[in-house]
Amino acid sequence: MSKHEHISMSVIRRLPRYYRFLSFLIESDVMRISSKELSEKMGITASQIRQDLNCFGGFGQQGYGYIVEDLQKAIGEILGLNNLKKTVVIGAGNIGRVVATHMIFENQGFKMIGIFDKNERLIGESIRGIRIDDSASLEKFCNENHPSVAALCIPKEDVPEIIDRLIALGIKAFWNFSHYDILVKYPDVAVENVHLNDSLMTLSYKSNDL
């Protein structure tokens, strides 16, 4: 699957939202939608929608609108959602537990194949049919199963030791809940940071004058 090199990340970041809306329309048996209707439902301008979707060659027809299912499928392909990437969850504390329990990874392009923690009290428990293993066994597991993605659900201070091991084991993409800045040391891997504290601070700013 070719990365659409000339598409800005700000367009890419809007695609999951289109994908969600289109999936919702499919569930509601909507077959076709104009950019105007889509814009009213999504709260963004029709011209923004046309501009975004034109980045990928355009899916709509003038005066006819978009075929919902085709558009959803095309966006899913761009996002690589059908290409399930083997994923390990590192850390089975509260955040790791939410991630392992509730993220239906398969719908978003990932397949959870392992969960690891160093806490002996958690090792041996199962989440969604997957046993929490000792972090010490990461090397053996990865050499046998070749995951390419890790969800990092551990505190910042625990990251430096484990990140070097994960990179050496061939992990190339990180869903990072820690505050450790992976790209400083490893600029070539793919990282999506989920910084809940940063999001709260931004909300603090936005709500100052309300």
Q: Which stretch binds its own copies (CB under 8 A): 47-55, 61-69, 115-123, 189-197?
A: 189-197
Query: Is residue 8 a contact residue for its own copies (CB under 8 A)?
Result: no
Q: Binders of its own copies among 91-150, rule CB under 8 A?
A: 94-95, 97-99, 101-103, 105, 107-110, 148-149
* Secondary structure class of 6 (helix, strand, coil): coil
Rounded least distance, CB 2 to its own copies, Å:
8
Question: In this structure, are residues 147 and 113 in contact, taking their beta carbons and an 8 Å threshold?
Answer: yes
* CA–CA dist 91, 158 (Å, integer): 10
End-to-end Cα spacing for the chain: 46
At its nearest, how many Å lie between its own copies and the CB of residue 37? 13
User: In angstroms, what is the C-alpha Rg of the chain?
Assistant: 20
17 binds its own copies (CB under 8 A): yes
Residue 57 touching its own copies (CB under 8 A)? no
- Rounded to 10 degrees, what is the CA torsion of 116, 121, 126, 131? 40
Residue 192 binds its own copies, judged by CB under 8 A: yes
Count of residues near its own copies by CB under 8 A: 64
Structure tokens, 1: 């699957």
- Told to check if 203 binds its own copies by CB under 8 A, we report yes
Distance CA 37, CA 205 (A): 33
Q: Does 19 bind its own copies (CB under 8 A)?
A: yes
Task: CB nearer to its own copies: give 134 or 179.
Answer: 179
14, 61, 78, 151, 180 from 173: Cα distances, Å: 20, 36, 17, 9, 14
Question: If we measure between CA atoms, which residue out of 192, 185, 180, 156 comes closest to residue 168?
Answer: 185
> Is 198 a residue that touches its own copies (CB under 8 A)?
yes
Q: Which is nearer to its own copies, 43 or 63 (CB)?
A: 43
Where along the sequence are the contacts to its own copies (CB under 8 A)?
1-3, 12-13, 15-17, 19-20, 41-43, 78-81, 83, 85, 94-95, 97-99, 101-103, 105, 107-110, 148-149, 172-175, 179, 181, 183-184, 187, 189-192, 194-210
